Structure 1
Amino acid sequence: MLLLQSNRGRKRKGARIKAQMENRKRAIQRKLEEKNKPPKKWVPPNLRIEKSNIGVTSRRYNEDLLLDLPPDDVYHCEGFKQIAYSLAEAIKFHQETHHPTMYNEPNAVVDAFVELNLRTKKKTKFLSAFTGMLMMPHEFDFKQSRRLVVICKKPEDQEKALNLGASIVGSNDVIKQLKSKNLTSIDFDHILCHSDMLIELAEVRGILKEHFPNKLKGNYGTDIEALMKKFTNSIEYKCVRDDFEPDFGTISVPFGRLNCKEEHLLENLVAVLQKIEGHQPKDAPGEFITRVLIKSKPSSEEFRIRHWDLLENYEDPYAVESENDSNEEMNELRQ
């Protein structure tokens, strides 16, 4: 019996060899192109843009991208430059909207929303997110819930701490709980320590890490009552670094209520801005605080203020612009 194999559709041997040679030529060409490609520019990880962030608009305020203020009294604010008010004017605007006939919140909390330039001396390095605490020059009715662990030897100090609102109080027994990890950072916000217990507490320094007491935080000392009052009455703030722009950060800090005295609000705000400015690294380029907005819930309105009038070594951007414009006009006239 004779079996015949069909070769229908099969290329001839010469055509197959020719196709193989073409494929080799193309492979050699691709290798040459890859070899002659310019080297990829290395970009630091903190400056790399993820594909998911492409198309995300900047949250930073940039007057160069905005229109000058129109001559009209009433206009849609979006797309135009913001007017910079004094603090007194911003507070007055909020008092009007919070009047009993409108929001009916005449003693609402006033917040300062502060925008920051997080650049450092190195172009590819930026200031990390930070936190801080501040005792206001003029206290106002505002409480932030904090779970405090107090470590001290004397029974009278332990009693004072409990009476002032400490969550956990003790001495070596608390240190043992920290060492065995029965007590962790999930269970508290801050640790306050009497100076005579610092040596014993040093055994768990590696476990506590950033929670370990230090002079900068001011969470250790000889007066437990003063420490408790400081950490229960002070205002805590946190810098949030932008995910898309690592050199841009924001902080929101309450500094008073709408029914507080105007001078008290001003002194509190100056204290807040000075405290925040202290976080700027030495030799960092540019001004640290770039914009300050005054907000007050439940209103969604926000008013930009002239923060450069409240801080030293800050220039009025509009005065600099007008000076440059006048210099240009003088040069044109001379020509």
Structure 2
Amino acid sequence: MEKSFPRPAESVITPPIRRPGASADVVVVEAPVPSPARNAQIVADNGARAVEFFSQRFGAYPYSSLALTQMPGRVSQGWPGLVFLSSYAFLTPEETVDLGASPVNGALNRLTLPHETAHQWWGDLIGWRTYRDQWVFEALANYSSLLMMETEKPTEVRLILERYREDLLQKNKDGESLRDAGPVSLGLRLNSSHFPSGYEGVSYGRGTWLFHMLRHMLLDAEAMQTRRSQETQPVADEPFIRALRKIRERYADKAISTRELFAVFDEELPRALWYEGHKSLDWFVQGWVEGVALPHFSTQSVRIVKKAGGTEVVGIVRQSDAPQDLVSAVSVYAVTATKPRLIGIVLADGPETPFHLAVPEGTKRITLDAYQNLLSSPK
């Protein structure tokens, strides 16, 4: 059974007037209603690509086959070896535009298939231990689908992340921001009369951002430790992906808690992310996973100082609109005549954290989070 799609508005086309005084013929054109059946092969091909993409990064596909079937309406759901896809997941990009979807909504619609496919690993092969850990699997499946989108349409990844940030800052009729619904670890208890869709908004939005932050923290810290450019590092060899493969190997057909998951990431933790000398992400779990902050980051009292041994920059990283004990990994970049260059990571601890870092010759200024990989709020 195929549920009817919302029909797009009629288009009124007025041809050019050929001679002065002549009236133009008006033609009314109604865009065709999309047909999921017509696009079934495209969906199947995209599903096969998603299985291949995730298998290369997370380990072999866990089941003998994968069946994709339409479920009329907007909801999609994945089961072991079976994915029910919303009718909207069968739309081509052109049909999505014809139905009036904005660029970001079109991009979100294209996440549906890879998201549900990623659940074969995150949610089906490995499950959550308690309701407090359920967010991991929605967020991880969602971020996995963004990893795939990043290889094809990176600009759409940025659109989606910015939408999630905006949603978290969006206020309801009582003036409360979605971020105030609670931390991701509240699970379905995030839903309330104040935030009826709190679980979906926070687990997808903030949860996806948490994995994005974690991935880029690890990438930046490893780049500093090995002095290797991120651009030359194969994605499959990233510390984030290495940790996910370990999780898949150790917890297949088991349940995992949030703490157990981050304990595996601890194994890949470069020294630049060791807070107070401890090789642990407890500071990230306590402040970011168990918290709701979207801080604002800025610099203060920055000076570039030339010394006999080279050039240094000294200053303060300010972290505002955040709890006093929040710890954040802030990547610092030198701005030269070319693109920003990573020079260090500051573990911002509280409102003000002093730093001094070596900078390359020709540095004009420094900037924080040059590629916007921190979940932060604007000024």
Q: TM-score, normalised by structure 2?
A: 0.20
Greater strand fraction, Structure 1 or Structure 2: 2
Q: TM-score, normalised by structure 1?
A: 0.22
Q: Which has the larger radius of gyration?
A: 1
If asked which structure has higher relative contact order (CA below 8 Å, sep 6+), I would say 1
